[in-house]
Amino acid sequence: MLGKLLQGRYQVVQVLSARGTCQTYIAQDTNCPGHPTCFVKHLLPTSNSPSSVQSLRWLFSREAEALKKLGNHDQVPELLAAFEENQEFYLVQEFIQGHPLSAELLPDHRWSESQVVQLLQEVLGILEFVHTHGLLYRDLKPSNLIRRQQDERLVLINFGSVKQASTQVVKAQGNTSTTIAITIPATIAIGTPGYMPMEQGRGRPRFNINNKVSALPNGLNVRFYRKITSTHLSICSKKTGDNDCLYLRKVS
């Protein structure tokens, strides 16, 4: 793949990942002065069957549409191109120079409360922007947040798991409540175990946009709690009537 020219324009100069059905590269845009660097996500079907190709085409279109909607936010990579070649799919995005947030979350390094609050405010600001565009981001974890080198700001990446939602605005006694709800019954749990909320693990994610903290995955909340207190916790659940309640248990 190295050196290949995609769409007669984007030349692959580095292979970042070549595993499975999603491969990623760094490329140069040979049609622009200075050949600027960009990021390429290459999606391959699991088989040559029409149903496999069509399913991937649908997922590809969904991610491309999400990136188009969100492209005017400074902390979401801009979509430069989206195209299909020989039943394989390519997303070309702005290249973000930096490192993943996971590189900062060292096991024995304790954060101050102000550091965690500042980080949460920044992450929640991006999520609020995503949610107000009628989209649910379902794979929030440290490796999907890049600390941009030029300004130290976080950038949210990897929108392959995003889901379109409907937005309902309810007004009562002068107060406005906006709820994002799934438009069709969900049957597949998408996300990363240990980070996604329980309802998302069951394939039915639902967020209230006014309660920003609820938009954070359980695992991310616990990770930040550990950073402040140095206390190791695990997320547990128990049945209470028809509902499942989450609680935290100290790990000895």
What's the number of CA atoms in the CB half-sphere (13 Å) around residue 237?
12
Identify the band that residue 109 occupies on the pLDDT scale cut at 50, 70 and 90: confident
Structure tokens at 75: 């902390």
Residues 128 and 237 in one domain: yes
The pLDDT score that the predictor gives to residue 9 is: 96
How many domains does the chain divide into?
Answer: 2
Residues 222 and 237 in one domain: yes
Amino acid at 180: I
The conformation of residue 88, written as its DSSP 8-state character, comes to E
Residues 223 and 187 in one domain: yes
Q: How far apart are the first and last CA of the chain?
A: 48
From 8, 83, 97, 102, select the one nearest 41 (Cα to Cα).
Answer: 83
Residues 16 and 105 in one domain: no
Which candidate in 29, 139, 242, 244 is catalytic?
Answer: 139
Per-residue pLDDT tens digits for 140-179: 888 899 999 999 999 999 887 666 554 444 444 444 444 4
Is residue 139 annotated as part of the catalytic site, yes or no? yes
**Residue where the block lists tokens 């440290």:** 142
Task: Tally Cβ neighbours within 10 Å of residue 198.
Answer: 13
Amino acid at 2: L
Residues 133 and 83 in one domain: no
| Residue ranges with strand state E in 48-174 | 79-85, 88-94, 98-100, 135-136, 145-148, 154-156, 163-172
d(CA 96, CA 141): 17
| 218-229 helix and 113-132 helix, angle to the nearest 10 degrees | 160
Boundaries of domain holding 163 = 98-250
Residues 54 and 138 in one domain: no
The pLDDT score that the predictor gives to residue 225 is: 54
From 136, 104, 114, select the one nearest 204 (Cα to Cα).
Answer: 136
The pLDDT score that the predictor gives to residue 231 is: 55
Residue 57: strand, helix, or coil: helix
Q: b vs e for 206-240, b when ≥16 Cβ sit within 10 Å of the residue's Cβ?
A: ebebeebeebbbbbbbbbbebbeeeeebebeeeee
Residues 65 and 151 in one domain: no
Are 90 and 42 in contact by the 8 Å Cβ rule? The answer is yes
Per-residue pLDDT tens digits for 50-93: 999 998 998 899 889 888 988 789 999 999 999 999 999 999 99
State CA 92 to chain mean position distance: 16
**For position 197, which CATH number holds?**
1.10.510.10
Question: Which residue did the predictor score with more confidence, 98 or 227?
Answer: 98
